[in-house]
Structure 1
Amino acid sequence: MRTKLDGIDLWNPDNYVSGVPYEMFARLRAEAPVYWHEEPGGPGFWVITKHADVRAISRDWATFSSELGGTEIADYPEAELAGLRLLLLYMDPDRHTRYRLLVNKAFTPRRVQALAQRIEQLSARIVDEVAELGGCDFVADLAAQLPLRVIAELIGIPEPDRPFVFDLANRIIGWMDPELSSQRSDATAASVEMLQYAAKLAEVKRSDPGDDITSALVHISLEDESGVHRLSELEIGLFFLLLAIAGNETTRNLLSQGMLAFFEHPGEWARLRANPTLMDGAIEEMLRWGTPTMHFRRTATRDTVVRDVLIREGEKVSVWYISANRDEEVFADPCRFDITRSPNDHLAFGGGGPHFCFGSHLAKIEISAFFGQLLRRLPDIRLDGEVDRLRSNFANAVKRMPVAFAPTRVAARIGPGSTR
C-alpha cells in the first residue's frame, strides 16, 4: 500500500528557494522512508530517505540502474537518453568500469596530492583579488573561482575561455532557475555548446598536446567488446562536460554552503580559528551539512522490496543524500553543525558503489586550501546581505552571498601563482 502524506512535495523547485525542506525529509524518514511521490505530467517516483537504504541502493547497480532511465527524475526522450548513455553518470558496469578507469588515472590520490601546492597558490591568488576591497560576492568572487581554475587547468581550458565554460556549466546545472534558464531545453542547448567547444579544444590538443586530461583523452585507446579504438569526438566531449560540471559546480556549491554554515554557527568558526587542526573534521561536517547534490535517480531492473515495500520493475527510484546525511539513526543531533563530529559517515560523495565521486580527494584538498586562506587572511568575514539560493530540487546551491571583511593590503607575489 502506498502511503499518502499531505504537505510533502519534493518535486516543486520553489520549495527549495528559501532553504532545503528538511522538515519534509524528517517526516518521510519517520513515517514513510520508502515513499511514492506523484509527478506532474509523469508516472511518479519512489523517494528513499534513510541512510542505510540510500547506501544499499547506491551499491546495488544490478537492481537499481543508472543506465536504464538516467539519473534525473524527469524522463528524457529515448533518443536523447541514448546520447546521454555515453556519459559516465548514465552508465552501469561493465561499460562504466571501462570508462571510469580512464578518468581515475587523472584523479588518483597520489596525483591529486601532487596538485596540493598549486591549489594553495590558486587559493592565495583568489583571496588576493578581493582582500583589499573589504567585501565581495562570496559565490562569484571566491567560491566559484577555485574549482573553476583547478578543473580548467586539469582539463586544459585556456584562461580566456574559462568564463564561457563557466557560464555554460551554470546554465546546464541551473535549468530550473528562471534567472539562468527558462526551460530544460536551454540546458540541452548549453550542453551542445559545451560539446562543440570540447571538440574544438580536442582538435587543438591533437596537434599541440599538453599535460592535461583532454590531451590524454585524444590519444588514449579504449578496449571494449568491439575491439580497440580511440575515443570518438562525442565520447571526449561528454568526458569534458562531466569534468567541467562535476569538478566545478559541486565544489563551488560546497564552499558556499560551508561558509554559510559558519555564518549561521559563528561559534564553530571561532573554534576553527582558535584551532586550525580541526580542519579535517570541519571538512567532513561541511560535506554532510552542505551535501551539494541532493539526489540521484535510479530505475528498478526487476521487482524488488525495500523495507517491506514492493518496488516494481521499471519504476523510478530517487535516493536523497541530503536526507540520509541527517538520519537520526546515524548522526546524533543531526541538525547541529559540529566540526568535531565523530564518526561522520556522510554520503555527500554518494553511497559507494560504481558512482562514488572520483573527485573526492581533489575536493577535500580544495576545501582545505580555500578555508585555510580565509581563516588566515579574512578571519572576520561576515554575511553582509541576503543569501540568494538556486531554484532547484537537485543542486543545493547558493547563487549570491554578499560578504564583508576588514580590507587588507596585498603584498606582491613572486613566482608561481604570482598576481603581480
Structure 2
Amino acid sequence: MKLDEIDLTDLDFFVHGDPLAAFRLLRAEAPVYWHERKPGQGFWAVTSYEDALKVYHDPTTYSSERGMSLQFNQGGTENGNAGFGMMMITTDPPRHSRIRQVINRRFTPRSVSVYEPHIRKISAAIVDAIIEKGECDFVVDIAAKLPTAVTCEMMGIPREYWNMMFELTNMSIGTEDPEYQQGRTARETGEAAQAQVFSYFSQLIADRKNNPGDDLVSAFVHGEIDGVKFDEMEVLFNCFLLIVAGQETTRNATSGGMLALIENPAAAARLKADPSIVDTAIEEILRYTTPVTHILRVARHAAELSGNRIRAGDRVVNWNISANRDDAAFARPDSFDLTRTPNDHLAFGHGEHFCLGANLARLELRVILDEVLRRIPDIELAGPIERLRSNFVAGIKHMPVRFMPKGTTAGEGPGTAPRLSSK
C-alpha cells in the first residue's frame, strides 16, 4: 500500500478493507497529510495522537461550526447546514460552553451515579428477554436497547416512540448504508430522518412549554443564555443531537467491546475472574474500538501544523481511530490490554468538545457488559458481523451470537460471576 492509494473517503474500505494498516502507514510517513481524491473535496488527515491533541485544544484556529464529520461537510465554501452554529457539537467557544451549561449538571459523575440502579434494572430486563433463546443479534437485541432506553427516558420520550427513535438514529448516521437508505440517496435518507425527528420533537417541545418536566427537552425549552431563551430551531437541533449521540456511541462501544472480548478470550477470562480491573477495561474498550472514527474542524485562518501550512478554510480531520493506535502515545497499541494505564484515549474527543455524555456512556457500558458476562459467560459469535458503511462511526449493524439457553434469574446466583463494580 502507498500513500496515494489510500482513500479515506471510500466507505467500503472501512467495511471490507484494512483501515488500521492505512493509518499505520500515514502515521509513519505523513501524520498530517493533504488528502484529495476528488477535486474540491480535499482535507488534512491528522493521524498522530500529538497532532490530534493540538487540533482539539485550539478552537481559536480550528472551528467546529462547519460540521462534525466528512459525512455532513462535503467540502466547498458553499456547503452548509442549518444546524451549524446551533448544536453544541457545531458551535465554538464561548457559546459552546454556555449551551453545555444548560444541561451539564445532568451528566456529572455524581448525577450519573444516581442512574445506576435503574440502568441495572433495564440491563437485567434486556438479558432476560434473550437468555432463554440461546441466540440473538447482539447489536439489535442487547447493545442498542440500553442507550435507547436511557436516552429516551432522560429526554422524556414515551416508551411507544423508542423503537422509532432507534430506527431514525440508524437512518441519520447510516445515510450511506443501503440497509438504511431503502432505495433513497444518502441526502434523501438524512433529510427524511431529520424531518421525522423534528416533527416528533416539535410536538414534544410544544408540550414542554406548558408542562415542563425534569427532562433534557424541558431544560432546553426553558433554558437561557444571558437571559435569552433558545429559539425553537436551536432546541430542535440540540434534541436531534442528543437523541442520536446518546444512542450511537454507547451502542457501538458495547458491540465493539463484546466483539473484542470474544476475539480475545484470555482478556475476557481475566475480566470475569478479576472485576476490580473494570475501570481500566472500559477505557481500553473505548480506545480499542474508537466508536467515533473521525471529527472534522475547519481552519479559521492560516496556520502551521507539524510543518504543514494550513490555509484558511481548509478542512482538518482528526482520525481518532488512528490517534488511538499511535505507538508514540500507547505501548503495544494494537494489543487489547484491559489493565492499560495510563490510557488518555480520544474516543470521546478532547478539549472543549470532550463528549458531554462520557460519564453516562462509561456507566452504561460497564453495566450492560457486566450483565452479559455474568449471565451469559459462554457467549460466542454465531456468524459473520455486518459493519456500517461509514468512515464517521465504527458501527456494527448486526452481530449474531449464541450461548447455552439459561433461566431468567438476574443477579447473583449459580452460574454467575461477581459483578463488575467501579471503584
TM-score (norm 2): 0.92
Question: Partners in 2 of 1:304 and 1:235 — Cα distance?
Answer: 31
Secondary structure class of the residue paired with 2:225: strand
Question: Partners in 2 of 1:208 and 1:43 — Cα distance?
Answer: 46
Secondary structure class of the residue paired with 2:228: strand
Which structure 2 residue ranges, 5 or more long, are not aligned? 412-423
Amino acid at match of 2:117: Q
Amino acid at match of 1:85: G
Residue 201 of structure 2 corresponds to 198
Secondary structure class of the residue paired with 1:106: helix
Counting only pairs closer than 5 Å after superposition, residues 231-270 of structure 1 correspond to structure 2 as: 231-270=230-269
TM-score (norm 1): 0.93
Question: Partners in 1 of 2:200 and 2:17 — Cα distance?
Answer: 35
Aligned CA distance change for structure 1 residues 298 and 176 (closer, same or farther; 3 Å): same
TM-aligned CA deviation for residue 6 of structure 1: 3.0
Amino acid at match of 1:325: N
Question: Partners in 2 of 1:9 and 1:412 — Cα distance?
Answer: 47
Could you tell me which of 348, 353, 371 is aligned with 1:373? 371
Q: Is the 8 A contact 1:39 1:45 kept in 2?
A: no
Secondary structure class of the residue paired with 1:297: strand
Deviations 1:176-229 (A, max 9, x none): 112112313311221122112111111222333332111222222332xxxx33
Q: Is the 8 A contact 1:135 1:402 kept in 2?
A: yes
Deviations 1:51-98 (A, max 9, x none): 01101101100001111x322232388584243321111111111121
Q: Does 1:71 align with 2:65?
A: no
Q: Is the 8 A contact 2:42 2:75 kept in 1?
A: no
Amino acid at match of 2:68: T
Q: Does 1:309 align with 2:308?
A: yes
Question: Partners in 1 of 2:12 and 2:402 — Cα distance?
Answer: 29
Secondary structure class of the residue paired with 2:316: strand
Aligned CA distance change for structure 1 residues 399 and 172 (closer, same or farther; 3 Å): same
Counting only pairs closer than 5 Å after superposition, residues 11-410 of structure 1 correspond to structure 2 as: 11-18=9-16, 21-67=19-65, 69-73=66-70, 74-75=74-75, 78=78, 80-181=80-181, 182-223=185-226, 228-350=227-349, 352-410=350-408
Question: Partners in 1 of 2:109 and 2:282 — Cα distance?
Answer: 17
Which structure 1 residue ranges, 5 or more long, are not aligned? 414-420
Secondary structure class of the residue paired with 1:61: coil
TM-aligned CA deviation for residue 330 of structure 1: 1.1
Question: Partners in 2 of 1:380 and 1:299 — Cα distance?
Answer: 47
Larger CA deviation: 89-98 vs 316-325: 89-98
Deviations 1:88-139 (A, max 9, x none): 1111111112111112122122111111111111111111111111110000
Deviations 1:373-416 (A, max 9, x none): 11210111111101100010111010000001111111499xxx
Q: Is the 8 A contact 1:19 1:389 kept in 2?
A: no
TM-aligned CA deviation for residue 141 of structure 1: 0.1
Question: Partners in 2 of 1:111 and 1:293 — Cα distance?
Answer: 25
Question: Partners in 2 of 1:221 and 1:103 — Cα distance?
Answer: 11
Question: Partners in 1 of 2:86 and 2:125 — Cα distance?
Answer: 37
Deviations 1:358-385 (A, max 9, x none): 1110011101101111121011111110
Question: Partners in 2 of 1:318 and 1:245 — Cα distance?
Answer: 21
Secondary structure class of the residue paired with 1:84: coil
Q: Is the 8 A contact 2:7 2:37 kept in 1?
A: no
Query: What is the percentage of aligned positions where both structures have the same residue?
Result: 45
Amino acid at match of 1:100: R
Aligned CA distance change for structure 1 residues 149 and 76 (closer, same or farther; 3 Å): farther
After TM superposition, where is structure 1 displaced by more than 6 Å over at least 4 residues in a row? none
Residue 417 of structure 1 corresponds to none
Q: Is the 8 A contact 1:28 1:49 kept in 2?
A: yes
Q: Is the 8 A contact 2:152 2:243 kept in 1?
A: yes
Secondary structure class of the residue paired with 1:40: coil
Question: Partners in 1 of 2:393 and 2:284 — Cα distance?
Answer: 18
Larger CA deviation: 373-382 vs 22-31: 373-382
Aligned CA distance change for structure 1 residues 388 and 43 (closer, same or farther; 3 Å): closer
Q: Is the 8 A contact 1:283 1:367 kept in 2?
A: yes
Question: Partners in 2 of 1:187 and 1:217 — Cα distance?
Answer: 24
Question: Partners in 2 of 1:197 and 1:42 — Cα distance?
Answer: 36
Cα RMSD, aligned residues only: 1.7
Q: Is the 8 A contact 2:103 2:219 kept in 1?
A: no
